[in-house]
Structure 1
Amino acid sequence: MLSPKLQLSYQASERLNLYLKSGLGFHSNDSRVVVQQTGREILPKAYGVDVGIHWKPVDRLLINAALWRLDLDQEFVYVGDAGIVEPSGKTRREGIDLSIRYQANAWLYFTSDVNYTIPRAVGTAEGEHFIPLAPTFTSIGGLTAELTNTLSGSLRYRFMDNRPANEDNSLHAEGYFLMDAVLNYTLGAFELGLSIENLTNAAWKEAQFETESQLRNEAKPISEIHFTPGTPFQARLSATVRF
C-alpha cells in the first residue's frame, strides 16, 4: 500500500512560517480485527490535509495553529455487548488545533494545546451521523517551574468535553477536567519525587460505552452508559539513584 506525503513550507518572515501538509495512509483502531482478516480489506485508506502557521510574535511566545481535515474510507466502532469493533462506513473529521508555548521568565513555563473537532459519518441521515465516543473538544497544558538547580515541579491539566456515545447523540459520554502535580528534588545522583494524580479528587468516568443491560427488577433491557471509574486522588513518593 503506497502512502505518499506532501509538505510545502513558506518562511514569510523570521517570526512567521506558513505550511501545507497532505498525505494518504491507512487506518485501523483494533489490531485483532486486522489479524483475523490477515490484513485483507481491513486497513481502509485515510486521507489527510492541514494548513497552518508557526508564529513567534515575541521572543518568549510560540504559537502553532492549524486547520485540518481527515477522511476515512472505513470507521470502526466498538460494540460493547460483543466486545468487538465493527465497520460503520466512511467518516470525516474537520477541526482546528492551537498550541501555545510561553516562557514567562527564566524559571516558569506555560504550555497549552486546544483541539476542536467536528466528527461525522458520511452518507448517513442528519441526526444519525454522529461517531460514538469521537472527541469533539479537548485540551492539555500546564505550568512547569525550574525553581532552583535542585528543585522543580509542574502543575498539569487534562480536559475532555462531553461527546456523543451513540449515532443519534441521545446518550453522552461525560467529559472531565483533571489536574496533576509533580515535585522533584535532585541532589547529585539522588532524586526525591512527589507525584499527585487528580489533585482535586474529581469524580470522573474513564472508559465509557453505550451498552444494553437489564437488572432483575427491570421489565426490558435499557441502553445506557457503562463505565470504568476514573482514578481518584492519589499521591506517590519516589526515590531515584543514578549511577
Structure 2
Amino acid sequence: MVGLRADSVRFSVDNQLAPGSARDGDQQLSPKFSLIAGPWAKTEFFFNAGRGFHSNDARGATAAVDPAPGLAASRGMEIGARTEWLPGLQSSLALWKLDFDSELVYIGDAGNTEAARPSKRHGVEWNNRWAPNKWLLLDADLAWSHARFKGDDPAGNRIPNAVDKVASVAVSVKDIAGWSGSLQWRYLGSGALVEDNSVRSYSSATTNLRVSRKLWRDAELTLDVFNLFDREVYDIQYYYESQPAGLPAREDRHVHPAEPRTLRLTLKIGF
C-alpha cells in the first residue's frame, strides 16, 4: 500500500506588546508505504515507512530572528509481526525508528515550547490481547524507547521528558449476570529532565477500576475509581529555574500532581 499526504499551514500573529504583525506559512508532502506479507499459520509480517511532521508555535515560526520551521519534518519506519497462532491470543511485536528535523522542548521560564535540535529515537513495542473465553479479556502493552538529540553537545544529548519505559496491563470481565468490570495498571518509567541526565523524573504507577451494571436494555450505571490506591505520583514533571516572590532564584522540579483517589458515577440511557 502506498499513499501521499499534502499539508499546508498559514500563520498570522498580531503582537499586542509592540506594533506590527507577522505572517508566514509552510508546506510538506508526506509519502507513506506499507508492505504486509501473509498470513502463514495465522501470522503476518509488516513493514511501514513514511514521512510526517509536527507543527511549531506560530510565534516562533514568524519570529524576525532565527524563525523556527512551520512544519518540522520527521521520517519513521517499523518492522514487525502480528500473530493469532495461539487460540484467543492476538500479539504483535514491532521494532521502530523515528527521526525529527527539530525537537520541541518546553521552556519553563517562558511557559511555552521552542524548536530545538534534530532528534532520533528507536525502540520496541509488544502488544498482547488474550480472550480465553467470551467474558474474560486480558491486555498487556509494553514499550521501550531510546531518545537522543543528534550530534555531540557539551551540555548533553538527552531529550527532556522522553521516558524510557511504558507499560499497561488490564483485566476485564464482561456480561456476568449483567455485571462488567475492568482493572488497569499503568506504568510510566523515569526519563531525563535535563540534557546531561543529571536530573531524572520519578517513575509512576497508577491503577484504575471500573465496575458497571446493566439496569435494563438501554441503561447502564458505571462507577470509575481513578488512582485506586491513592498513589502520590506526578502527571507532569519539569526542571528549570524559577523565582517565587520574595525568594532567590533556583533550579528545581516543577510538577503537576496526579489527582488523588477519585470516584465518578455515570448513568447512561439510550433512547
TM-score (norm 2): 0.82
Tell me, which stretches of 5 or more residues in structure 1 are unaligned?
none
Q: 2:92 aligns with which of 64, 76, 101?
A: 64
Letter in 1 for 2:222: G
Q: CA deviation at 1:168?
A: 0.7
Per-residue CA deviations over 1:190-219 (Å, capped at 9, x if unaligned) read 21111100001000111211121346786x
Runs of 4+ aligned residues of structure 1 deviating over 6 Å after TM superposition are: none
Q: CA deviation at 1:233?
A: 0.4
Change (3 A) 1:57 1:14: closer
Q: CA deviation at 1:84?
A: 1.7
Q: Secondary structure at the match of 1:100?
A: strand
Letter in 2 for 1:90: P
Task: Describe how 1:176-195 pairs up with structure 2 within 5 A.
Answer: 176-186=204-214, 187-195=216-224
Change (3 A) 1:133 1:82: same
User: 2:230 matched to 1:196?
Assistant: no
Q: Secondary structure at the match of 1:104?
A: strand
Change (3 A) 1:140 1:32: farther
What is the aligned length? 240
Letter in 1 for 2:235: E
Counterpart for residue 9 of structure 1: 36
Maintained 8 Å contact 1:171/1:225: no
Q: Distance in 1 between the 2:145 and 2:96 partners?
A: 9
Maintained 8 Å contact 2:243/2:250: yes
Per-residue CA deviations over 1:111-142 (Å, capped at 9, x if unaligned) read 11111000000012377110000121111230
Task: Describe how 1:39-78 pairs up with structure 2 within 5 A.
Answer: 41-78=69-106
Task: Describe how 1:1-243 pairs up with structure 2 within 5 A.
Answer: 1-28=28-55, 31-33=57-59, 36=62, 41-125=69-153, 128-148=156-176, 150-186=178-214, 187-214=216-243, 220-243=248-271
Letter in 1 for 2:166: T
Q: CA deviation at 1:57?
A: 2.6
Q: Which moved more, 1:181-190 or 1:195-204?
A: 181-190
Q: Secondary structure at the match of 2:259?
A: coil
Q: CA deviation at 1:14?
A: 3.2
Q: Distance in 2 between the 1:126 and 1:67 partners?
A: 30
Maintained 8 Å contact 2:90/2:128: yes
Letter in 2 for 1:207: I
Q: Distance in 2 between the 1:202 and 1:182 partners?
A: 17
Maintained 8 Å contact 2:61/2:69: no
Q: Distance in 2 between the 1:40 and 1:159 partners?
A: 34
Change (3 A) 1:36 1:175: farther
Q: CA deviation at 1:234?
A: 0.8
Which has more radius of gyration? 2
Q: CA deviation at 1:31?
A: 4.9
Counterpart for residue 5 of structure 2: none
Q: Secondary structure at the match of 1:164?
A: coil
TM-score (norm 1): 0.91
Q: Which moved more, 1:46-55 or 1:146-155?
A: 146-155
Q: Which moved more, 1:145-154 or 1:230-239?
A: 145-154
CA RMSD of aligned residues (A): 2.1
Q: Distance in 2 between the 1:14 and 1:126 partners?
A: 52
Q: Distance in 2 between the 1:88 and 1:47 partners?
A: 17
Maintained 8 Å contact 1:33/1:42: no
Letter in 2 for 1:22: A
Q: Distance in 2 between the 1:84 and 1:47 partners?
A: 25
Maintained 8 Å contact 1:97/1:114: yes
Percent identical pairs in the alignment equals: 27
Q: Distance in 1 between the 2:120 and 2:232 partners?
A: 32
Q: CA deviation at 1:64?
A: 0.4
Q: Distance in 2 between the 1:31 and 1:86 partners?
A: 7
Q: Distance in 2 between the 1:32 and 1:149 partners?
A: 54
